[in-house]
Amino acid sequence: MTGPAAPRGPWSLRELHRDLRDGRTTPADALARSRAAVADTESEVHAWVARDPEPEPRATGPLGGVPLGVKDIIDVAGFPTRCGTSLREHAAPAGTDAAIVTAWRRAGAIPVGKTVTTEFAYFSPGPTRNPRALGHTPGGSSSGSAAAVASGHVPLALGTQTAASVTRPASYCGVASLVLTHGRIPMTGTAGLSPSFDSHGLYTAGVTDLALAWSALTGEADPGATAPRPPRLLLWTAKSLGVVEDGMREAVDAAARRLADAGAVVDAFPEEGLVAEAVAAQKIVMAYEAARERAAELAVASRLSEQLATLLRSGEAMAPAEYDAARSRLAEIGSALTDLSASYDAVVGPAAPGPAPVGLSATGDPILSRPWQALGLPVVTVPGTADAAGLPLGVQLVGRACGEHALLTAGCWTESALRGRE
């Protein structure tokens, strides 16, 4: 299952914003371009669940009319939220927007449709294919949003992450992503899986586009508008987890050398074992909470995929003491890693074990994002590297809680340094 690659590439949010601001294009033009891009490649990529045929072109807010894709576990008024499951095949349209959609509308973005998600944002994949290699998975669970940005359908799309649902698809599809600090924006109106971990995220073509989007969303200064100083980084190899493939290991090592040559401080991460412990604890907490968050679905587990049914049943069988112990250990690990990284701007490491695996029946291994999501930290995926076959490989930068602005500043410098050395 290979097939031709989709012909369009990512659409720069920063360039579109500049054109809208300077009058070289209009919101109506941007919506027309989005429709044309979808018409070109959607029959191959399958990124969308539903599209608004006539969204209202608005020019309010700092983004002033930018087309936006929304993952289909997030409510958008007028659209049903089907969560990638037949259980919600006949769901009624949402009456109101989710909190995150309200925030993006206020920033000037125009929701143009709902993007494909895996079943309840877990492992069972939808129909989406990877625009960079159509026979390979786009990752999960925010597969449609990553593919829509990688295909140039929209310059901005929303995802969510509980384990690796934003970071992994970004790495596989060759786009940039930002996972927000847990709790940064309420999950109201979003179908969750694990309240301790569920977080919002977004996709754009590059990190400077993420910086612009963050500024528009929050009103903070644009982290990509000025030349930042070289960052201080801790290099996390994930060697102790035993999953990083040779191509990814070589790409991360090469990236670390490039960043050091460009002026960054790149020191070895000193506590790989703590990260491995966080992975184990994340799995316990996620399963326990998912069984309770999705109790209605657990009651009809025979109608779910085997992957989700197994998660819910295992979580239901867990003792509260096991759950409490895992949460306590995560708090201890988070405190220790905060102390270790206090004098650094970010942790840098592989965003996924390797390139997107062949086939569409699975979404890849989420292990390299589990520890950071367990600690509630913001993460930027920096695109731009590739394996010997040309498949995308992303690196992730992990920041401090509520430190998105500083993390994006480091991410913009990293993106620029890596591009300058290619």
71 catalytic per annotation: yes
Q: Which of 165, 196, 305, 369 is catalytic?
A: 165
Cα distance between residue 420 and residue 243, in whole Å = 29
The active-site residue, picked from 12, 71, 143, 341, is 71
* DSSP β-ladder status, 176-179 and 199-204: antiparallel
Residue among 12, 34, 124, 141 flagged as catalytic: 141
CB 203 within 8 A of CB 177: yes
Decide if 141 is catalytic.
yes
Nearest to 44 by CA among 123, 153, 171, 206: 153
Q: Is 199 a catalytic residue?
A: no
- Helix-helix angle 13-21:207-218, to 10 degrees: 50
Of the candidates 252, 188, 219, 289, the residue with the CA atom closest to the CA atom of residue 414:
252
Angle at 158 between CA 77 and CA 411, to 5 degrees: 155
Query: Measured in Å, how far apart are the chain's first and last C-alpha atoms?
Result: 31
> For residues 71-85, b (16+ Cβ closer than 10 Å) or e, as one string?
bbbbbbeebbbbbbb
Instruction: Name, in order, each residue with C-beta under 8 angstroms of 128's C-beta and a sequence gap of 6 or more.
Output: 45, 46, 47, 116, 138, 143, 144, 147
Q: List active site positions.
A: 71, 141, 165
